[in-house]
């Protein structure tokens, strides 16, 4: 099943894509499996969303889907069915607070 | 920073024509400025990596078209970019900076132990002889090296592990390794500086290190003459005099004539000895430049006058250079890596401000003019002399 992922502008530039990214995810659709598939297709994004050693989410990166903030959910928890079925996108968002002006 | 290097690039510099390429890192991208040897008309390229903080970019002395850039944001972390054509095109190389072993702790602002955490690369220093070898100074302070053009990075952990690491603490800008100086006369000798730990020297290519802070006096630390803990802002060396170093400390301008074994103050008649940048004339190793800043709580020039100060005597005696610089209502800062010189016959001096101007003098500081203005806040300035 193709999963739809929306990247923030900086990472679309880095990955040289425009609009949504379509990913094939093997097995259960979780944050971890989606990010694994994303980094496999776009290795330039490694380290930009989660630590390369610990895989901890970077503090000012947020994961939204189906009008829910999933940022603090377990990386192995199943994502909403609408995301897994490709109906709704998995949104990767740069937090409004964070970084530096 | 001041190597005379053979090159031909596009733009207004053509083959067999000397010129200058100025590499500017800003809060929101990188800019590359080029001019011929007259340094009167400038072509501005950029922003490269728009929207990202570019703490530093620098060219290889061994291959001037090989550039390295440190690209980061607080949101998405650290990236390293590399160019093989003088900045026309870039490729992302690896950016995995992992501390060697268990990182341990350093002092936090309140004096409590705090785990070492990688945040960003402050400074990239390409090898003097090998375009694929490049050193990185990072926050939290550590020293990394790549020998394959940035594809893989390894920490030279002898610096962080030499013994004083637990006593290091962050300055206001973070605990950063911001200065890397490679000795052209001795390939094994490296100088680095950390805010706020001090200066260090290695005589074995970075394997082992010793603090070189004897003579520094810092009233803001419990032991003003401590071996480590000093907030060094920047250090400069002239390639012809590798044992002589000049330092802009948090407060105080200092020099050493014995490769850091002993320092003495040379602030002399400066209006304030707080500041960030310090650099040296390309052809006169006793001519040095600083930009005095009012204080550590007021990061702008005294009296609203942007003045570069020049000493032709290796310190102590300073003259204000003001022609072409704003002399009223100027409240910008000049960050520690934001001054550089070219090595054309009439030495050029360059510096960038937090107001987004890059000022240049093609006559060793006597006269100044902005070569670009209204950029994002300038974080770093490097210059390549193309011959």
- The alpha carbon of B124 is separated from its chain's Cα centroid by a whole number of angstroms, namely 9
Taking CA B306 as the corner, what is the angle to CA B264 and CA B244, rounded to the nearest 5 degrees? 25
pLDDT values of chain A reduced to their tens digit, one per residue, 101 residues: 799 999 999 999 999 999 899 999 989 999 999 999 999 999 999 999 999 888 999 999 999 999 999 999 999 999 999 999 999 999 999 988 755 55
Picking from B74, B77, B79, the nearest residue to A100 by CB comes out as B74
Beta strand B53-59 pairing with B67-73: antiparallel
Query: What's chain B's average pLDDT?
Result: 94
A47 contact B CB<8A:
yes
Per-domain residue ranges of chain A: 2-94
Interface test with A, best of B74, B80, B155, B172 (most A CBs within 10 A): B74
Domain extent listing, chain B = 4-386
Is the pLDDT assigned to residue B5 strictly greater than 50? no
User: What pLDDT, in 10s, does the model give residues B89-118?
Assistant: 999 998 899 999 988 899 998 889 999 999
ipTM of the complex: 0.91
Q: pLDDT by residue (tens digit) across B10-58?
A: 334 554 568 999 999 999 999 999 999 999 999 999 999 999 999 999 9
Residue-wise pLDDT tens digits, B239-275: 999 999 999 999 999 999 999 999 999 999 999 999 9
- In A1-101 the beta strands, taken as DSSP E runs, fall at 2-6, 21-24, 61-65, 68-69, 90-94
- Using one digit for the tens of pLDDT, what is the confidence trace for B320-376? 999 999 999 999 999 999 999 999 999 999 999 999 999 999 999 999 999 999 999
Q: What is the CATH number that goes with domain A2-94? A: 3.10.20.30
**Inter-chain contact B74–A101, Cβ cutoff 8 Å?**
no
Identify residues of B whose CB sits under 8 angstroms from chain A CBs: 27, 50-53, 73-79, 92, 95-96, 98
Interior angle at CA A47, CA A41 and CA A52, nearest 5: 100
User: Does the structure show a pLDDT above 70 at B3?
Assistant: no
Which chain A residue is nearest to residue B97, measuring alpha carbons?
A: A52
A33 SS3 class: helix
Instruction: Give A-chain residues touching B77 at CB under 8 angstroms.
Output: 47-48, 58
Sheet containing strand B29-36, edge to edge, reads B4-5, B378-386, B19-26, B29-36, B43-48
| CB contact (8 A) between residue A52 and residue B79 | no
pLDDT of B58-68, one tens digit each? 999 999 999 99
Q: Which two tokens stand for residue B210?
A: 């010793």
Is A8 part of the contact surface with chain B (CB cutoff 8 Å)? Answer: yes
Could you say which architecture CATH assigns to the domain B4-386? 7 Propeller (2.130)
DSSP state of A94: E
* DSSP 8-state assignment for residue B92: E
Q: CB distance B92–A52 less than 8 Å?
A: no
């Amino acid at each position: 099943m193709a999963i739809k992922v929306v990247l923030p502008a900086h990472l679309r530039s880095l990955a040289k894509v425009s609009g949504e990214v379509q990913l094939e995810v093997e097995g259960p659709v979780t944050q971890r499996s989606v990010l694994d598939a994303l980094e496999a297709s776009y290795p330039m994004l490694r380290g930009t969303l989660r630590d390369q050693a610990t895989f901890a989410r970077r503090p000012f990166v947020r994961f939204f889907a189906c009008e829910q903030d999933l940022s603090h959910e377990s990386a192995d928890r199943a994502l909403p069915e609408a995301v897994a079925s490709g109906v709704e996108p998995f949104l990767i968002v740069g937090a409004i607070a964070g970084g530096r002006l | 920073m001041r190597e005379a290097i053979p090159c031909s690039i596009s733009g207004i510099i053509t083959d067999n024509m000397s010129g200058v390429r100025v590499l500017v890192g800003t809060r929101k991208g990188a800019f590359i400025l080029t001019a011929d040897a007259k340094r009167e008309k400038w072509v501005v390229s950029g922003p490269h990596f728009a929207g990202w903080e570019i703490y530093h970019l620098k060219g290889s002395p061994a291959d001037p078209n090989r550039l390295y850039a440190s690209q980061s944001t607080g949101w998405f972390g650290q990236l390293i970019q590399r160019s093989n054509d003088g900045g026309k095109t870039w490729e992302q190389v690896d950016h995995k900076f992992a501390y060697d072993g268990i990182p341990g702790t350093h002092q936090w602002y309140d004096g409590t132990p705090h785990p070492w955490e990688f945040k960003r690369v402050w400074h990239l220093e390409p090898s003097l002889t090998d375009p694929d070898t490049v050193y990185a100074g990072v926050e939290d302070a550590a020293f990394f090296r790549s020998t394959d053009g940035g594809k893989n990075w390894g920490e030279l952990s002898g610096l962080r592990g030499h013994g004083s690491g637990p006593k290091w603490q962050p300055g206001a800008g973070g605990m950063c390794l911001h200065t890397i100086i490679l000795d052209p006369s001795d390939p094994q000798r490296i100088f680095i500086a950390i805010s706020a730990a001090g200066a260090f020297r290695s005589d074995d290519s970075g394997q082992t290190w010793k603090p070189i802070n004897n003579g520094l006096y810092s009233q803001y630390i419990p032991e003003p003459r401590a071996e480590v803990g000093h907030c060094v802002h920047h250090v400069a060396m002239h390639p012809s005099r590798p044992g002589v170093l000049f330092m802009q400390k948090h407060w105080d301008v200092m020099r050493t004539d014995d490769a850091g074994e002993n320092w003495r103050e040379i602030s002399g008649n400066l209006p304030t000895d707080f500041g960030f940048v310090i650099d040296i004339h390309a052809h006169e190793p006793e001519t040095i430049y600083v930009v005095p800043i009012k204080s550590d709580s007021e990061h702008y020039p005294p009296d609203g006058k942007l003045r570069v100060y020049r000493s032709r005597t290796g310190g102590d005696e300073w003259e204000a250079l003001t022609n072409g610089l704003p002399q009223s209502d100027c409240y910008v800062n000049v960050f520690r890596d934001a001054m550089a010189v070219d090595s054309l016959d009439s030495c050029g001096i360059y510096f960038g401000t937090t107001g987004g101007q890059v000022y240049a003098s093609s006559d060793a500081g006597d006269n100044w003019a902005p070569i670009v203005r209204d950029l994002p806040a300038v974080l770093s300035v490097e210059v390549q002399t193309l011959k």
